[in-house]
């Protein structure tokens, strides 16, 4: 055994990898792994532009990492990206060496490290990782790249694969908005619309774990009592409808709830008249954060909110935050979230499985923007579920 390692160490030009506990020599320039991916080479309706694509995974180098994807969700932003209407557009690249330039769909997912080059110290075989930046392309079986492409997940005891696969968009958005704009203390109130959205539900649960109270605005609907009950079970302090928001009765009720200490943080993903009405409930020097516009209506800001209450209005985009912050900062955030998941204080989202095939994926991506379904759609590119 000693002779083997001594002789192996003398081969300087070759790359020595640690692959599931075994040494493997990649000096031949071939990984021997075929990647299946869902890609597009032009923008348009997903079912018309998405297609199956096979290529060989690049050989390992001293500075690269190879991963296999365990679970990848389909998010509305992924659909917008394929349509060409999302601000972040991944470049079309030649993955197969044939001149066929494509982009791999998907922004979110969890993968397992299967090989690392000799110079890589930040990751090891068996680590679970998420993508360090948005637009990487997660609808594929395998990927390879520098270690900086991947963000190591903290170890966990009780966090599901689904929770890990869906942590980087909605929970991270909720976490950052609760952390970055106001120094919240236990007992403080936060008011938000879209309380039943994925981010909204994450806000409710994280706030509850931190001792923060929430007023959650939702659209009125026939099953409103059921929705109130579901959000209350998640940890919502109060659930009100957008129709109730501007009434005299609700203004009086809010004053009673706030007891002279109105919320200083408002979170808006809807826009329109109701979003303006929600801003009226913020206290002096309050911070109002917009991270979506589901109503596709502008947010009108009365001058009185700026002049007399000194409210500040911000936009937030998780992709920008990730681009501007270090791997170490991302790890601290992910550790906090995984700790909450381990304690069942941040629950796995509702989800349904999508078969890993071209037609099933194309249909699922087409349907992801409609808002109808049993929850977040998740595919398992390597059959692990």
136 is catalytic: no
Q: How many alpha carbons fall within 13 Å on the CB side of residue 211?
A: 4
Distance from C-alpha of 239 to C-alpha of 242, rounded to nearest angstrom: 10
Of 26, 55, 86, 175, the catalytic one is 86
Q: Which helix (H) or strand (E) holds 232?
A: helix 224-234
Phi, psi angle pair for 247, to nearest 5° = -80, 155
- Within 10 A of 329 (CB to CB), how many other CB atoms are there? 12
Contacts of 24 (CB under 8 A, 6+ apart): 17, 60, 115
**Phi and psi for 364 in degrees, rounded to 5?**
-65, -40
CA distance 250 to 245: 6
What are the residue ranges of helices labelled H in 272-326? 272-279, 303-307, 318-324
| Structure token digits, residue 242 | 């957008």
Integer Cα distance of 327 and 310 in angstroms: 35
Report residue 332 as tokens.
Answer: 């601290």
Give Cα separations from 266 to 106, 243, 283, 311 (angstroms): 30, 18, 10, 10
Long-range own/partner contacts, residues 120-123 (CB < 8 A, 24 or more apart): 120/62, 120/63, 120/64, 120/65, 120/147, 122/147, 122/152, 122/327, 123/65, 123/147, 123/150, 123/152
Rounded to 10 deg, the angle between the 198-209 and 224-234 helix axes is 40
The answer to whether residues 190 and 214 touch, using CB atoms and an 8 Å cutoff, is yes
Q: Estimate the crossing angle of helix 198-209 against helix 327-342, to 10 degrees.
A: 80
Catalytic residues: 86
């Amino acid at each position: 055994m000693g002779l083997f390692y001594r002789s192996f160490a003398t081969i300087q030009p070759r790359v020595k990898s640690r692959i599931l506990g075994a040494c493997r020599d990649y000096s031949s320039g071939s990984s021997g792994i075929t990647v299946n991916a869902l890609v597009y080479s032009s923008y348009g309706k997903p079912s018309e532009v998405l297609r199956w694509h096979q290529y060989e995974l690049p050989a390992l180098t001293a500075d690269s990492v190879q991963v296999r994807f365990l679970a990848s969700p389909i998010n509305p932003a992924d659909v917008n990206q394929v349509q060409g209407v999302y601000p972040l557009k991944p470049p079309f690249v030649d993955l197969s060496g044939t001149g066929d330039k494509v982009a791999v769909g998907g922004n979110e997912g969890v993968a397992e490290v299967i090989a690392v080059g000799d110079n890589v110290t930040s990751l090891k075989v068996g680590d679970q990782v998420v993508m360090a930046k948005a637009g990487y392309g997660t609808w594929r079986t395998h990927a390879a790249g520098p270690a900086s492409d991947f963000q190591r997940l903290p170890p966990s005891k009780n966090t599901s694969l689904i929770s890990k696969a869906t942590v980087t968009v909605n929970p991270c958005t909720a976490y950052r908005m609760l952390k970055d704009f106001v120094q919240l203390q236990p007992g403080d109130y936060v008011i938000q619309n879209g309380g039943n959205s994925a981010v909204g539900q994450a806000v409710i649960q994280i706030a509850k774990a931190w001792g923060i109270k929430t007023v959650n605005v939702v659209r009125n609907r026939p099953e409103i009592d059921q929705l109130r009950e579901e959000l209350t079970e998640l940890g919502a302090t109060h659930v009100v409808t957008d129709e109730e928001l501007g009434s005299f009765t609700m203004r009086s009720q809010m004053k009673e709830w706030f007891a002279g200490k109105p919320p200083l943080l408002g979170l808006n993903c809807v826009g329109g008249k109701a979003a303006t009405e929600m801003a009226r409930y913020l206290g002096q020097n309050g911070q109002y954060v917009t991270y979506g516009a589901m109503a596709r209506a502008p947010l009108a800001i009365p001058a009185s909110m700026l002049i007399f209450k000194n409210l500040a209005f911000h936009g937030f985009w998780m992709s920008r935050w990730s681009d501007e912050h270090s791997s170490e900062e991302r790890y601290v955030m992910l550790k906090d979230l995984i700790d909450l998941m381990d304690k069942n204080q941040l629950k796995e989202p509702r989800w349904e499985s999508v078969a890993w095939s071209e037609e099933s994926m194309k249909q699922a991506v087409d349907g992801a923007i409609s808002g109808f379904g049993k929850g977040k759609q998740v595919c398992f590119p390597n059959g692990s579920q």
